[in-house]
Structure 1
Amino acid sequence: MPAKKLKTYLDDNQVRYVTIKHSSAYTAQEIAAKTHISGKEVAKTVMIKVDRNLAMCVLPASYKVNFDLLQEVFGKEKVALATEEEFKYFFPDCEVGAMPPFGNLYDLDVYVAQTLAEDDMIAFNAGNHTEMIQMKYEDFNRLVQPHVFRFSQKEVAIPGDPSERWGMDY
């Protein structure tokens, strides 16, 4: 079952979503392959620190965070990848590494890659490594109200993924 907190939040806000079960997968690209959903629509959550504050970066499965671009956005503030030890206690209802991109439920800022925001749908971990939720990006945006900008680049192509694009997140 998806993280109870997330499911309750979506239901309370009358959001239509689909829960998709899959065999255990620990990376967003594995999930995309197992569920046959475009790697461009499967979102991964990467935890970062901006100075000493934790935040979520949400980007397509086949992209990676470009810390130089993030540093440009945040200017003088130090931006770095957060360690598992630094964030695991923020998500008591989730398996480590399977946090849904709803930082608003955990008092965290959310930053979404421009490429992901251009899609009609978004799919993401539902709090564990065997389920994901797929919903309209428009609903996600309305509920989370993330900061959207360019901070990612294509990592590797997912074979057969029609959304294959190389280079920066434009």
Structure 2
Amino acid sequence: MAISTRLNEYLQDNEVNYELVSHPHSFNSLSSAIAAQVSPSQLAKAVILEDHEGRKMMAVLPANHKISLGALGDKLNRDLHLMKEQAVYQMFNDCENGAIPPFGGAYNLEAVYDDLLVDAKEVYFEAGDHSSLVHISRKDFVKLIKDAKHLRFSHQNIH
């Protein structure tokens, strides 16, 4: 699998040119960035959340950051938690487990984006497998997320 079907259709429907970047197999977005020699701050990762009413949403943040569920929940006035992995795998059945593209619109999901991503000069993200990233321009990324909420809800991972 190089790029998920729904992601490819979404990018084509929005007239976004992209480049596929192959890399050695990885297990998470941070290791994908390292394997592809891409700055982790430019790699957008998706985290799937659910609130107490069962409403699902996608939160998108840089690969080298960790989501603050409390901060995001406070800003959205929602009690959020991580969605169960098995349910996420079913929702993103055109992707390998854990390789979720960061566009809620491609999957009919509400999405919120961390403000830090809007400042990236270029953006990379999972193509739907653990061996490919998609590379798009900042301009196209901003175009794709123009109707979504933009907030600050993450903090940098410190190793």
Report the TM-score when normalising by structure 2.
0.91
1:95 has 2:91 as partner: no
Superposed structure 1 runs of 4+ greater than 6 Å apart: none
Map residues 46-125 of structure 1 onto 2, 5 A cutoff.
Answer: 46-51=47-52, 52-75=54-77, 77-125=78-126
- The structural deviation recorded for 1:60 is 0.6
What stretches of structure 2 of length at least 5 have no aligned partner?
A: none
- The structural deviation recorded for 1:138 is 2.6
Between Structure 1 and Structure 2, how many residues are aligned? 156
Aligned-partner Cα distance in 1 for 2:142–2:154: 18
Aligned to 1:150: 152
- The structural deviation recorded for 1:36 is 1.1
Superposed CA offset, 1:120-154 (max 9, x none): 21101001111110102331232243211010001
Q: Which moved more, 1:142-151 or 1:31-40?
A: 142-151
Aligned to 1:44: 45
Aligned-partner Cα distance in 1 for 2:86–2:76: 24
| Larger RCO, structures 1/2 (Cα 8 Å, 6+ apart) | 2
What stretches of structure 1 of length at least 5 have no aligned partner?
A: 158-170
Aligned to 2:142: 141
Report the TM-score when normalising by structure 1.
0.85
CA RMSD of aligned residues (A): 1.5
Is the Cα–Cα contact under 8 Å of residues 54 and 87 in structure 1 kept in the other structure? no
Superposed CA offset, 1:77-97 (max 9, x none): 211111112222111211111
Q: Percent identity?
A: 29
- The 3 A distance-change label for structure 1 pair 13 and 68 is closer
Aligned-partner Cα distance in 2 for 1:24–1:90: 22
Aligned to 2:28: 27
Aligned-partner Cα distance in 2 for 1:34–1:56: 25
Superposed CA offset, 1:27-85 (max 9, x none): 1111111111111001111111133111111111110001121121122x211111112
SS of 1:56's equivalent in the other structure is: strand
